[in-house]
Amino acid sequence: MTGVAGIGMTSDRTRQRMVEMLRHEGITDERVLAAMLELPRHAFVEEGIASRAYEDTPLPIGHGQTISSPLIVASMTQLLLEKTPMAKVLEIGTGCGYQTAVLARLVKEVYTLERIAPLMDKARRHLRDLRFYNVRYKHADGHAGYAEGAPYDGILSAASASHVPPALKEQLAVGGRLVLPVGVGEQWLYVIDRTEKGFTEQKREAVRFVPLLPGLAQ
């Protein structure tokens, strides 16, 4: 990965310590751990806070948004990948592109939506620099999904919706899985599976995400 090598607090050794923390916290999917060991998380945040990139905490990425903590990224990705095969995934909330990159390491095709145009442009540059060519981007309201690419084997949202957007359920393939935080104030992580008979829903742990807002921002 040209131009993203780190030293000190952004080194490979620091990334290894992050992965050891993830294992300790219950992440068991070796595919997820390998992807996060390889990806330079510090390259997705501003230089001034790059030394904190491997701490288990969300960090600001501008425009009132954050990059999720490593544990949240790993947990949600692991939940999503429990449903296999997972060839095509939709991500709601591209942000800086780190979660996008993790997914792109693990599935054949990633479609990603971002309502804030400068963030989408920044994420596109990050992933281009890391030579990801299996990602399709769209500046759009996440509530509406990405109908052009549907149906999806998996959908993952990096922002909390006040309710489960109907369009996301409609764009999920039979046998597919939707992982998203839901709630205003108190938020919970939901796992929704689509079966031949309809949808099943699991309410998991309490979480804290930025809200999934309607409309577009330039």
Give yes or no: 68 in active site. Answer: yes
Residue type, 159: A
φ, ψ of residue 30 to 5 degrees: the values are -65, -25
Rounded to a whole number, what is the distance in angstroms from the first to the last CA of the chain?
Answer: 30
Residue 38's nearest CA partner among 16, 9, 20 is: 16
205 vs 197: CA distance, rounded Å: 26
Of 68, 75, 157, 160, catalytic: 68
Query: What are the two backbone dihedrals, phi and then psi, of residue 54, each rounded to the nearest 5 degrees?
Result: -105, 10
Active site residues: 68
